[in-house]
Structure 1
Amino acid sequence: MNKLDELKHNLTEEKLQNEKPSNGTVSRGPSPNRGQSLRDVDAVGPDAEDKREWQKKRGIDRSKQVKLVKLCHMRYQHPDLNKITTFLRDFGMHVTKKGDGERWFRGYGPDQYVYYAKQGPKKYLGGAFEVESREDLEKALKIPGATVLSDGIEEMKDAPGGGYIVTIADPEGFPINFVHGQAEVKEERAKPAKLMLNDEVDKPRQKAFQRFDPGPAEVHKLGHFGLNVENFPAQMAWYTQNFNIVPSDILYVPLDKIDPETNQPVRKEVALFGHIDRGQDLVDHHTFFMTTLTPGVEKHVHHSSFEVHDFDTQALGHQWLVEKKYTPVWGVGRHILGSQIFDYWWDINGFMVEHYADGDLVNIDTPMGFGPAGHEGLAVWGPDVPTEFLE
């Protein structure tokens, strides 16, 4: 059931013909929809590759990589901190600290903050990854093809939890940040209750009624961010060689020529869903997303995505944002790659942000998959994909 036509249970004309009994009448209607939690190797399917073999073929030396631990926060610059604060609160974040021309916003998860906003003209300031050691910060300053934007290793004196940061630009100029030495969160943060759910057979929720309070979809953590780049092959090589980022899935378009070695159509790779390689540890299906530009569109950050508790939380948050008259992009729906339930919105300055719930977990043993690019494969259910999401 990993193929789109199987997921959507389209009943083809051929299938209808095969199901005709001898009298020529069709015996039944369309198959009902079905969902199941497939093993990773079965869901990925046969068009797959071992990640270590993929790295080996590309000459990737893992000992030289900057070792990422997790994605911890996003950094943006906004013209009006009060207005973006109102939006981010309605989006489900909490102000954890206000400074002179800067603010930090947290979720209820383990990170000191998940979003940093600086006063100034609209500008993308990059995602921030926690790294294993100070040596990794020093290594980041020496990456070939990068431009150092920070004054070496800078101390984050005013930031909640302190720590140190390095900021560089990738070969196309996108900023990327690395932090180390932040203090752990000590306070106990309230977490949403896990709902009991009844289905047609198992009914653990007995004499207990589902009740909800309206409000924003509270953010747990930052999950991933994505870039639309000019030179996709070069950018993918740069990120996967210099950091412990490995593909979970790569999307391609077939070219009008045949590879003489495989006798298969040549593929042009156009999109990467990458996760942080922590070996056997389970991590999010993708922490970093990258795709090639739509013709005529300038390179830009595509979106950043924040995890929420569950589907009800997400739906109530969607309703809250609608009532506040913010601008939706796409959702609510469910992705195929990563499986997340998604809901995309524009913030007040035109940056795209996402709520997601119920995402896949993978590790180094999960095969990396290959699939054809196309908007039809972006979701198994939900509204039609809007043009602005594809740009």
Structure 2
Amino acid sequence: MNLTTVQPARHPRPTTKASALAYLIFDRPDLAKAERFLNDFGLRTVSRDSERMFLRGTGAAPFCYVARKAAKARFVGFGLRVNSRADLEALSRVPGASSDVESSKWPGGGYRVGLVDPSGFRVDAIFGQAPASALPHRPPLPLNSVDAAVRINGTQRPPVGAPDVIRLGHVVLELADFQQTCAWYTQHFGFIPSDVQVLPDGSPAVTFMRLDLGTTPADHHSVALAQGFAPLYSHSAYEVVDADAVGMGQRVLREQGWTHAWGIGRHILGSQVFDYWQDPWGDKHEHYCDGDLFTEDAPLGVHAVSREAMSQWGPTMPRSFTKPRFTPASVAALIRNLRHSPDVTVEKLKTLAKLFA
């Protein structure tokens, strides 16, 4: 497989190199309902008032999820941690930056610069957050195998309850302007494409991008971008301690009456053992464990895109992951982007629809 377009590609001199995916921001009409789902999912409430709610995992991040009170449910954007005040100053000069360097009043404090990516998603660059105290979570279960017996005269009885989310792992977005948006993230935050899935003509359909942490291993992807006809949230993913925690999450969320989306299975690109659930507004949230870790020198992989290419084992990816939600706003976006976006063509959309039919 060969690529026929400029992106995805590393940028030789990025403005900054982000060091972490810090948090996601959602608007929600009912904070109490959002909190019930997220607590059952395994996130812990840090603080909540009538306007805003912050939640965290057991790791040292002071929060990883923000829900804001709003009339309409929507995904707003996310935060990326950078390495210095100088990084913030450099990003404040990026065309379209929505703020100068400002103090953050959110948990952990620090400083922030607001940006908007070419697809319209809010991106906060943050530096100087004070870490929170890590919370306890159970250790991974010791597993007996045919080659090594590590548990003798003992049993496996993980506690029944919401699995401990350790941290936010990644977010996946659909885009109309794939080339421009992908280039923006590689240019300004130093993201490295780990793998790209391409259409039969070689044009990119999905790119999985990791942080450039040098010789320190980074998640296979912290941000993934998929070609679509409009900017949309696809899903976000949260790491748990092991596969039993993924399974326990399925049990608890099913017993609490939430809607299952896909799983359990193992991805091909990234290798995570996964399970997806829908929140009260249909937005997908993924439990995962055992993801791949890459250093800066791992080369780009190129693969054909298809529904079957999304998992090694487990159920085939449901059509709900690729079937567009047609609303007056999305139809208007489709017409607008067919006219104005160089990445959205009738032929490309027909090919995507055929591959994921």
TM-score (norm 1): 0.78
Residue among 254, 271, 278 paired with 2:200? 254
**How big is the shift at 1:100?**
4.5
Secondary structure in 1 matching 2:61 = coil
Secondary structure in 1 matching 2:271 = coil
Kept in 2, the 8 Å contact 1:279–1:363? The answer is yes
Kept in 1, the 8 Å contact 2:47–2:53? The answer is yes
Q: What amino acid is aligned across from residue 148 of structure 1 in structure 2? A: A
2:97 is the alignment partner of 1:148: yes
**How big is the shift at 1:254?**
2.2
Gaps of 5+ in 2: 4-8, 324-357
Residue among 78, 83, 94 paired with 2:28? 78
2:200 is the alignment partner of 1:284: no
Secondary structure in 2 matching 1:274 = strand
**How big is the shift at 1:195?**
1.4
Matched with 1:347 is 279
Secondary structure in 2 matching 1:189 = coil
Matched with 1:211 is 157
Q: Distance in 2 between matches of 1:153 and 1:75?
A: 19
Kept in 1, the 8 Å contact 2:263–2:274? The answer is yes
Pairs within 5 Å for 1:215-294: 215-255=161-201, 267-293=202-228
Q: Distance in 1 between matches of 2:225 and 2:22?
A: 18
Secondary structure in 2 matching 1:381 = coil
Q: What amino acid is aligned across from residue 244 of structure 1 in structure 2? A: G
Q: Percent identity?
A: 35
Pairs within 5 Å for 1:1-391: 55=10, 60-62=11-13, 64-120=14-70, 121-144=72-95, 147-149=96-98, 151-157=99-105, 159-185=106-132, 187-255=133-201, 267-293=202-228, 298-391=230-323
Q: What amino acid is aligned across from residue 142 of structure 2 in structure 1? A: M
Q: What amino acid is aligned across from residue 191 of structure 2 in structure 1? A: I
Q: Distance in 1 between matches of 2:135 and 2:319?
A: 39
**How big is the shift at 1:127?**
1.5
The size of the alignment, in residue pairs, is 318
Q: What amino acid is aligned across from residue 64 of structure 2 in structure 1? A: V
Kept in 2, the 8 Å contact 1:233–1:269? The answer is no
Kept in 1, the 8 Å contact 2:164–2:240? The answer is yes
Which string of whole-angstrom CA distances, capped at 9 and with x for unpartnered residues, describes residues 216-273 of structure 1? 1211000010110002122222221222101000111122xxxxxxxxxxx1122110
Matched with 2:350 is none
Kept in 2, the 8 Å contact 1:76–1:116? The answer is yes
**How big is the shift at 1:307?**
0.5
Q: What amino acid is aligned across from residue 307 of structure 1 in structure 2? A: E
Kept in 2, the 8 Å contact 1:47–1:369? The answer is no
Kept in 2, the 8 Å contact 1:278–1:364? The answer is yes
Q: Distance in 2 between matches of 1:223 and 1:163?
A: 21
**How big is the shift at 1:166?**
2.1
**How big is the shift at 1:47?**
8.1
| Alignment RMSD (CA, Å) | 1.9
Say if 1:176 and 1:224 are closer, same or farther in 2 by CA, change over 3 A.
same
Gaps of 5+ in 1: 1-45, 49-53, 256-266
Q: What amino acid is aligned across from residue 338 of structure 1 in structure 2? A: G
Matched with 2:339 is none
> Looking at CA atoms only, which structure, 1 or 2, has the larger radius of gyration?
1
Kept in 1, the 8 Å contact 2:137–2:164? The answer is no
Say if 1:277 and 1:188 are closer, same or farther in 2 by CA, change over 3 A.
closer
Q: Distance in 2 between matches of 1:176 and 1:303?
A: 16
Q: Distance in 2 between matches of 1:269 and 1:98?
A: 41
Secondary structure in 1 matching 2:245 = helix
Q: Distance in 2 between matches of 1:351 and 1:314?
A: 18
